């Protein structure tokens, strides 16, 4: 059975998943999408990794999607469309790119979570600078978030009291120049950590915390726990109500593996987002859970249940 991992050659989680698939199937195929070529007439999607002969993903028995791009960007949508073509040609994908498309855009993910009745931080989305200014001044402390980002890249924390109206307006203008749609969220007191609650096939797998290495700032916000900004992973045993809340959050997306970002605050838990790509390293380092092996086993079970036979 020929199964490829779509990911980032050299990336920790992509390589780990490719190792697990190779061990289980006897063939290790890790391909990136940076040099992908879609041939509509032939019905082919050619991809390859460094030093590899390009492989037509449309001829494979299955594809595991670990990463579509090194960082979140609108270009990721185009890459997922390439994979959607492949899925439409009958290649089983884990997770289905049509489902991943629903959450890589922060706004699309937020709308789905809101319509499902999940608790979200107070959030304003607007293209109008005056509306954005009113939102930040109303929130007091606010985080500006690009629609396509991960690990807090490009996010900006604004303290309206210290900046004043003119200072907030100037910061918003800078953000607006790079982000036409302004996604503005009231900053929460995270108490120095937030959670990644992970699910495999819709079933609870484990939870890790992202914790700041230093104490929260004097304002008590501790708003960014990302490992890219110095945070660290730690084991966390959440109460049942948090697991059930995160399970409700991941359910509308139907992914094979997902991680739900949960904030624990004095006002109760909030859902930040649902991720199609995160969680492998956090569970491994904090909990000793090898998601790559478990995900591979899950895929092989699913293929067996589907009666999938190796392609000629």
Cis before residue 150, ω within 30 degrees of 0?
no
CA dihedral 179, 184, 185, 191 (to 10 degrees): 60
- Which domains are present in the chain? 3-102+294-305 (3.40.50.20), 123-186 (3.30.1490.20), 189-275 (3.30.470.20)
> Contact 25/63 with Cβ under 8 angstroms?
no
pLDDT digits (tens, 9 = 90+) for 264-295: 999 999 999 999 998 999 999 999 999 999 99
pLDDT for res 226: 57
pLDDT for res 173: 98
Edge-to-edge strand order for the sheet containing 44-48? 55-56, 44-48, 30-39, 3-6, 62-65, 93-94
Residue 151 has pLDDT above 90, yes or no: no
pLDDT digits (tens, 9 = 90+) for 72-87: 888 899 999 999 999 9
Distances (CA, A) of 298 to 24, 29, 92, 277, 278: 12, 18, 13, 16, 17
Across 233-248, average pLDDT? 97
Quote the CA–CA distance of 149 and 243 in Å, as a whole number: 25
Q: What pairs with residue 217 in β-bridges?
A: none
Across 101-128, average pLDDT? 96
pTM of the predicted model, to two decimals? Answer: 0.90
SS3 label, residue 262: strand
> Contact 221/189 with Cβ under 8 angstroms?
yes
Residue 220 has pLDDT above 60, yes or no: no
């Amino acid at each position: 059975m020929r199964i490829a991992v779509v990911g980032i050659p050299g990336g920790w989680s992509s390589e780990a998943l490719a190792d697990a698939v190779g061990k289980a199937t006897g063939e290790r195929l890790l391909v990136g999408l940076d040099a992908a070529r879609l041939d509509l007439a032939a019905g082919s999607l050619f991809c390859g990794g460094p030093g590899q002969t390009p492989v037509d993903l449309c001829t494979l028995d299955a594809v595991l999607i670990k990463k579509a791009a090194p960082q979140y960007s609108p270009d990721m949508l185009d890459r997922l469309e390439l994979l959607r073509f492949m899925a439409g040609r009958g290649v089983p994908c884990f997770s289905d790119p049509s489902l991943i498309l629903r959450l890589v855009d922060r706004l699309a993910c937020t709308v789905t979570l809101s319509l499902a009745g999940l608790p979200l931080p107070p959030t304003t989305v607007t293209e109008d600078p005056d509306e954005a200014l009113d939102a930040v001044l109303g929130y007091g402390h606010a985080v500006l978030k690009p629609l396509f980002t991960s690990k807090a890249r490009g996010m900006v924390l604004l303290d309206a009291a210290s900046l004043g109206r003119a200072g907030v307006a100037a910061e918003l203008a800078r953000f607006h120049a790079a982000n036409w749609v302004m996604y503005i969220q009231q900053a929460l007191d995270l108490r120095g950590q937030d959670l990644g609650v992970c699910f495999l096939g819709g079933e609870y797998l484990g939870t890790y915390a992202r914790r700041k290495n230093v104490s929260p700032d004097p304002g008590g916000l501790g708003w960014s726990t990302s490992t890219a900004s110095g945070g660290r992973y730690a084991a966390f045993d959440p109460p049942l109500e948090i697991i059930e809340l995160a399970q409700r959050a991941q359910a509308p997306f139907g992914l094979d593996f997902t991680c739900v970002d949960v904030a624990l605050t004095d006002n109760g838990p909030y859902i930040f987002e649902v991720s199609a790509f995160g969680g492998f390293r956090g569970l491994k380092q904090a909990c000793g859970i090898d998601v790559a092996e478990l995900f591979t086993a899950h895929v092989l079970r699913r293929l067996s249940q589907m009666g999938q036979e190796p392609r000629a």
